[in-house]
Amino acid sequence: MEAVVLAGGKGTRLRPYTNDIPKPLIPLGDKPIIEILLGQLKKGGVTKAHIAVNHLAHMVTAALGGGSAIGLELRYSVEDSPLGTIGPLKLLCDLPEHFLVVNGDILSDINVSELFDFHCRQKGLLTVATHQRTERIDFGVLESDGSGRVTGFTEKPRYDFSVSMGIYVFSRELLKYVPDRKPFGFDELVLALLARGERVFSFPYAGFWLDLGRLDDYENALRNQDEILQLMK
């Protein structure tokens, strides 16, 4: 398996931790999060990873090098200007028929080999690993009809959502929907595929998953880093 790791973001939501270093290099324990992520990908059967970089790219390439310390072959794709979540993929010319795409600030113990096999069996263009997330509304929520008459009330309701984990399998064919050298997000890609009736699948996963893209989540991870690192071994 090959993987594309999206590591070009500025990490503005993680300031001040990202004032001087790119988001993929913020540490957890004695390693940057992208190195922990790449170790999990290797454990799942990935042998080659393409790292899409932009902001402070030289620091990422210097930290990871060719990948020998991790046991992976690493290649780098540098964006001249930000291309969004999915736009950087069009800069890569030698991708296989199916490949993983992973956000560079994600940690999970998901078995990417099982995810990859599921995608291939379904013969889809895109498979999205998903996680169940519960959000609580800290207010009383009213329901009303068109006249303003209240028809229902729920105190601090909880809602369950199936959310993207930032871990995907792509078929190379779907890159035809991605414009060349223009910013293009994952949301735009999914909407374009659904509008054309293309085959998009979800792969529910109930195990460990942590998105470190927000300040609160990262600081929570620092407080629980011993437990998290044990899960990622």
- Residue 136 above 70 pLDDT? yes
Q: Angle, nearest 10°, between helix axes 57-64 and 33-43?
A: 50
Tokens in use for 91? 């800069």
Alpha carbon distances (Å) from 99 to 5, 94, 175, 214: 11, 11, 12, 27
Structure tokens at 28: 């957890």
pLDDT digits (tens, 9 = 90+) for 31-61: 888 888 998 999 999 999 998 887 777 788 7
Can you point out the beta strands (E) in the chain? 2-6, 27-28, 31-32, 48-53, 73-78, 98-103, 106-108, 126-136, 140-144, 150-155, 158-171, 200-204, 209-211
All structural domains of the chain with their residue ranges? 2-131+161-231
Fold of 2-131+161-231: Spore Coat Polysaccharide Biosynthesis Protein SpsA; Chain A (3.90.550)
Tokens of 199: 């085959």
Reading the block at residue 90, the tokens are 């069009």
Instruction: State pTM to two decimals.
Output: 0.86
Kindly report, residue by residue over 55-108, the tens digit of the pLDDT.
777 788 777 878 888 888 999 888 777 778 788 888 887 899 999 999 988 889
Residues 6+ apart with CB under 8 A from 76: 50, 51, 53, 57, 60, 61
